[in-house]
């Protein structure tokens, strides 16, 4: 058993020069309103961990580096509250500070090196509960000299890419080098403004929003019960197994010129295996896979900067019946995913901005479909890809992390796809599933993967 001992826990605040050169402008607002993307995402805190080789940075370097980032990105030193002018939720720029925790482990990292998130590993990152800070960072030093940097942040302030951007900047600040690129924190960028006149070209109710007293939630009480333990299984897709899936998809595709990405093939395959493992009796039950799509790559004129600290994600929603997923060739499933993702273009994102800015959400009492209280997604699946994130640029003084892992969340049906740090072309998928269904999932999933890898 690993014992984690907290050595210190303190509030770190921005540091402004005595001459006031880097102090906030008197014209800067005291509160920053949430954007339409912020308000459409999950109202919760999220956690992740990066694992590093020794030596660990000093306490002084951690404190000064975090203070530098808070000075440049004041949103992380603020608190969620209400804008006194509009009465809407906002980030209060009060410089209340972020939390820095330093801890030690009584074992070497190699003796307990995890491969999958578990409840026990939550001691390696700050708690997500009962805290006010929007950013909390924990450095845990192991007896071998290796260290883990775990962090917890509020999702209303940042999405996954913004979280990675923040960690890259924090590493640069800790090392004492210029922060480059400089994070963008302006929530009044032109890209977030509705068009004039607005053009709501797509149906966003039942997509990003749901009606009050929503009556169309898919509930199947005979199977969807939450009294079982949610466990996380890591599936490795080697370069060979990825090639096999792409070949299967292309040979059975309905498209005349199929060209599918690694992510599309992998998540389509996982969607089918997850659905089979759930063993629903009704083959006409529909299942939807929500695939997070980053607006930074979709919005073009004007765009969202890649280094923007905020939310810019909407979800593609391919849908099929249980029977279709079980019977149709893999290429058909991949085509469903490909078309749904392609639909999430500049027009779709701007249509969402126009609706969300029109007042219709408030007038109709619409609420986000991104519901942090929903812990059982079955019969649906939700997918997040971290494949393009700049993990290799996160450096706290000893180079890039050799491993990254999100914090444990007991949410059934959640899938995270992350790159391998080995450089061999493989990727990993972390699948949250009820323990009772996990063996069936493994049998389905590894039927193709094992065959592809056996040819090596």
> Of 38, 159, 354, 395, which residue is the catalytic one?
395
| Half-sphere exposure at residue 226, Cβ-oriented, CA atoms within 13 angstroms | 11
Please write the tens of the pLDDT for every residue from 376-391.
999 999 999 999 898 9
Q: What are phi and psi of 191, to 5 degrees?
A: -60, -25
pLDDT at residue 212, as a whole number: 80
Average pLDDT over residues 73-93: 95
pLDDT of residue 214 exceeding 80, the answer is: no
Q: How high is the pLDDT of residue 455?
A: 54
* The model's pTM: 0.93
CATH 3.30.559.10 fits 4-192, yes or no: yes
Give alpha helix (H) positions in 73-131: none
- Coil, helix or strand at residue 335: helix
- Whether residue 87 is predicted with pLDDT greater than 60 in this model: the reply is yes
* 221 band by pLDDT with thresholds 50, 70 and 90: very low
* Mean pLDDT across 306-332: 95
Mean pLDDT over the full length of the chain: 93
CB under 8 Å to 267, separation ≥6 — which residues? 289, 291, 337, 383, 385, 415, 417, 429
Per-residue confidence (pLDDT) for residue 225, from 0 to 100: 53
Query: Which residue's structure tokens are 């963008």?
Result: 184
Sign of CA pseudo-dihedral 162, 110, 238, 416: negative
Q: What is the pLDDT of residue 20?
A: 59
Q: What is the rounded CA–CA span in Å between residue 78 and residue 395?
A: 25
- Answer yes or no: 453 catalytic: no
| pLDDT reading at 226 higher than 80 | no
- Residue 407 has what pLDDT? 97
Distance separating alpha carbons of residues 110 and 251, to the nearest angstrom: 43
Distance CA(327)–CA(88), nearest Å, equals 48
Q: Write out pLDDT tens, residues 167-180.
A: 999 999 999 999 99
Look at residue 443 in the predicted model and tell me its pLDDT: 95
What sign results for the dihedral spanned by CA atoms 331, 337, 338, 340? Answer: positive
Per-residue pLDDT, 222: 38
Q: Find tokens 């333990």 and name the residue.
A: 229
Is pLDDT larger for residue 455 or for residue 332? 332
The Cα 165–Cα 393 span in angstroms is 9
Indicate whether 224 pLDDT > 70.
no
Helix 239-251 to helix 330-342 angle (10° resolution) is 90
What's residue 254's pLDDT?
75
**Percent of the chain residues topping a pLDDT of 90:** 84
How confident is the model over 242-288, as pLDDT tens digits? 999 999 999 987 776 678 999 999 999 999 999 999 988 777 899 99
> Is 4-192's fold the same as 209-454's?
yes
Give yes or no for a contact between 9 and 133, defined as CB atoms under 8 angstroms apart.
Answer: no
Q: How far apart are CA 67 and CA 306, in angstroms?
A: 23
pLDDT digit string (tens) for 23-50? 776 556 689 999 999 999 999 999 999 9
Confidence check: pLDDT of 456 > 50: no
Q: Which residues pair with 300 in a beta bridge?
A: 303
Cα 252 to Cα 247: distance, rounded to the nearest angstrom: 9
The verdict on whether 180 is a catalytic residue reads: no
Residue 450 CB partners (closer than 8 Å, separation 6+): none
**pLDDT-derived band of residue 19, with 50, 70 and 90 as boundaries?**
low
Size of the chain, expressed as the number of residues it contains: 456
pLDDT at 24: 72
In degrees, rounded to 5, the angle at the alpha carbon of residue 223 between the alpha carbons of residues 219 and 226 is 85
For the chain, domain boundaries: 4-192, 209-454
Q: What are phi and psi of 284, to 5 degrees?
A: -95, 5
C-alpha 106/C-alpha 119 separation (Å) is 18
By the 8 A CB rule, do 425 and 240 touch?
Answer: no
Q: What is the pLDDT of residues 399-413, one digit of tens each?
A: 999 999 999 999 999
Q: 341 pLDDT exceeds 70? A: yes
Q: How far apart are CA 94 and CA 398, in angstroms?
A: 33
Instruction: Say what the alpha-carbon torsion angle 381, 160, 97, 36 is, to the nearest 10 degrees.
Output: -80
What does CATH list as the number for 209-454? Answer: 3.30.559.10
User: What confidence tier does 449 reach under pLDDT thresholds 50, 70, 90?
Assistant: confident
Q: How far apart are CA 111 and CA 49, in angstroms?
A: 17
Active-site choice (38, 125, 154, 155): 155
Q: Name 379's Cβ contacts closer than 8 Å, sequence gap at least 6.
A: 218, 220, 223, 224, 275, 278, 280, 285, 286, 287, 322
């Amino acid at each position: 058993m690993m014992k984690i001992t907290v050595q210190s826990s303190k509030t770190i605040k921005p540091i402004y020069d005595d001459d006031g050169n880097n102090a906030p402008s008197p014209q800067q607002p005291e509160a920053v309103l949430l954007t339409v993307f912020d308000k459409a995402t999950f109202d919760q805190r999220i956690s992740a961990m990066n694992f590093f080789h020794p030596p660990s940075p000093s306490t002084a370097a951690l404190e000064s580096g975090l203070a530098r980032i808070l000075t440049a990105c004041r949103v992380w030193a603020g608190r969620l509250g209400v804008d006194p002018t509009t009465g809407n939720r906002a980030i209060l720029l009060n410089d209340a500070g972020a939390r820095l925790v330093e801890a030690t482990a009584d074992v070497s990292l190699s003796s307990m090196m995890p491969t999958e998130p578990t409840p026990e590993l939550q001691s390696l990152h700050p708690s997500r509960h009962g805290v006010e800070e929007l950013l909390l960072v924990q450095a845990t030093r192991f007896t071998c000299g290796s260290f883990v940097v775990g962090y917890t942040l509020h999702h209303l302030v940042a999405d996954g890419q913004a979280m990675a951007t923040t960690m890259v900047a924090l590493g640069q600040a800790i090392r004492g080098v210029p922060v480059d690129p400089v994070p963008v924190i302006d929530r009044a960028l032109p890209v977030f403004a509705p068009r004039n006149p607005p053009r709501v070209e797509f149906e966003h109710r039942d997509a990003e929003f749901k009606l009050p007293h929503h009556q169309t939630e898919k509930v199947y009480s005979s199977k969807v019960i939450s009294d079982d333990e949610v466990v996380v299984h890591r599936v490795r897709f080697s370069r060979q197994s990825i090639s096999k899936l792409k070949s299967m998809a292309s040979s059975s595709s309905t498209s005349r010129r199929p060209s599918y990405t690694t992510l599309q093939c992998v998540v389509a395959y996982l969607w089918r295996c997850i659905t089979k493992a759930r063993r629903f009796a009704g083959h006409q039950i529909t299942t939807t896979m929500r695939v997070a799509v980053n607006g930074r790559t979709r919005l073009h004129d004007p765009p969202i900067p890649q280094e923007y600290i905020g939310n810019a994600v909407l979800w593609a929603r391919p849908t099929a019946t249980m029977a279709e997923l079980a019977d149709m060739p893999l290429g058909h499933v991949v085509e469903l995913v490909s078309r749904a993702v392609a639909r999430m273009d500049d027009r779709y994102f701007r249509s969402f901005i126009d609706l969300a800015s029109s007042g219709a959400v408030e007038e109709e009492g619409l609420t986000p479909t991104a519901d942090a209280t929903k812990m059982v997604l079955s019969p649906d699946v939700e997918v997040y890809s971290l494949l393009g994130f700049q993990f290799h640029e996160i450096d706290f003084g000893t180079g890039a992390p050799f491993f990254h892992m999100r914090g444990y969340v007991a949410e059934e049906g959640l899938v995270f796809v992350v790159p391998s740090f080995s450089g061999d072309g493989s990727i990993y998928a972390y699948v949250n599933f009820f323990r009772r269904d996990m063996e069936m999932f493994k049998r389905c999933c590894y039927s193709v993967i094992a065959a592809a890898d056996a040819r090596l």
